[in-house]
Structure formats: C-alpha cells, structure tokens
Amino acid sequence: MAQLVIGGITDATARPACLVSMLWPLSATSVTHEKGCDLMLRWSSVESPATSCRVQRPVVVGAWCFIIIGVGHLAITGMSSLRPASRPVQSALDAMHAAPVTLLGMTRDLATVHQGFSTLMALLGIGYGVFNLAVHRLAPEAFDRGTGLLWINFAVAAAGLIVAVIAFPPPPILALAVAVAAFARGLLVARRPLS
C-alpha cells in the first residue's frame, strides 16, 4: 500500500496525478506536489535503496564471472587452433575424427561434436552473464522482489563449479568460485534486513 508523506504527515487524499511518475521504478523517490510540497512514496513491499544496491553488486560480479569464462575459453580455443598440435594431441584428434557419432539420424565425428559442445558452452556462458547484466540494467527490481533469480544463479554457478573442479584447469574453477561466493552474498543480503 503506497502512502504519501508531506512533512511527516500522511496524506491519503493527494491527487492521483502526483503518482503517475512514481509507478516505475518501485522505489522510494521524491516528487514535487503541484503546490510545491515534497512527496515521498513509500512502498513497503520493495527493498530499501541501500539493500537493493547491496544485492545488485553481487549479481554484477557473478555475471561478469560467466562472461570472463566464456570469452577466455573462446580466446584460448582460437589461439590453440592457430598453432600446430603436439603429437599426442594430434593422435587423439585423429582418433576422434575417425569415430562416427549418430544423433537423431545425423552422423558427425566425435571431434566435431566435442568442439561444437565446447564452443556452444562458451557462448551460453557469455549469454548467461549478459542476460543477468541486462536484467540488472533494465529491470533491477526483479532481484529485489524475491530471491528466486538469485537462487537460480547460485545453483547454476555451484553446479558449474563442481564440474570445473572435476574436469577443468584452475582459471574456470577460480571464476566460478567467485561467482558462487557473489551469489551467496546476494542471498544473504537479500534475507538480512538493514540494521
């Protein structure tokens, strides 16, 4: 329920026209009444600006971790393709190229499938990070209305960290650990009121 406060006195009869510019975003904002009085619109269901800012920062950090992982992977893969492979690596690639894989009636060799998965995962990581940054920029209140998006981000980052620890070198492990910590921080801040 929105309340208009004029000089500390609640005014329930203020004209609706004063609320038009206040409907978006849903945050505590000062506007000027047509008679010159300052009005404050208070939304009890929305986080305070300080809490919102403390929730948004971890989201940005976690999102950039995904972008860095994807861009780094594509860069390393691209640079690796420009130099000759070592003999053991080339032998493994030759064996993978010689191994056909049939999926839903389409046949590819194992090396092509592996490279396709690798590139697609990097692009999806970049897209996931960019998507979070877009939500943060265009609809930041989505992270303040509840913790659903934060939990999704935390779960994705945590699952990625488990896979990275098992199969990947240190850089993605470190980046995903930072992402997990960032989203966990956002969850803690979102659940803890300002003192």
Neighbour count for residue 21 (Cβ, 10 Å): 11
Predicted structure pTM score: 0.69
Please say whether the beta carbons of 73 and 161 come within 8 A.
no
The conformation of residue 13, written as its DSSP 8-state character, comes to T
Q: Has residue 43 got a pLDDT over 80?
A: no
pLDDT band for 44, please (50, 70, 90 cuts).
very low
Give per-residue pLDDT as tens, 66-112: 999 999 999 998 888 888 888 888 899 899 989 888 888 889 888 89
Asked if the bond preceding 169 is cis, omega within 30° of 0, the reply is no
pLDDT band for 152, please (50, 70, 90 cuts).
very high
pLDDT band for 192, please (50, 70, 90 cuts).
low
Neighbour count for residue 18 (Cβ, 10 Å): 17
Average pLDDT over residues 11-20: 39
pLDDT in the model for residue 143: 84
What is the C-alpha to C-alpha distance for residues 133 and 120, in angstroms, rounded to an integer?
Answer: 20
What is the C-alpha to C-alpha distance for residues 113 and 12, in angstroms, rounded to an integer?
Answer: 65
**H or E element that contains 6:** strand 3-6
What is the C-alpha to C-alpha distance for residues 87 and 71, in angstroms, rounded to an integer?
Answer: 27
pLDDT in the model for residue 52: 73
Please say whether the beta carbons of 59 and 153 come within 8 A.
yes
Give per-residue pLDDT as tens, 119-133: 999 999 999 999 999
Average pLDDT over residues 44-62: 70
From the number of C-beta atoms within 10 Å of its C-beta (0-12, 13-18, 19+), residue 69 rates as buried
More confident residue, 22 or 90: 90
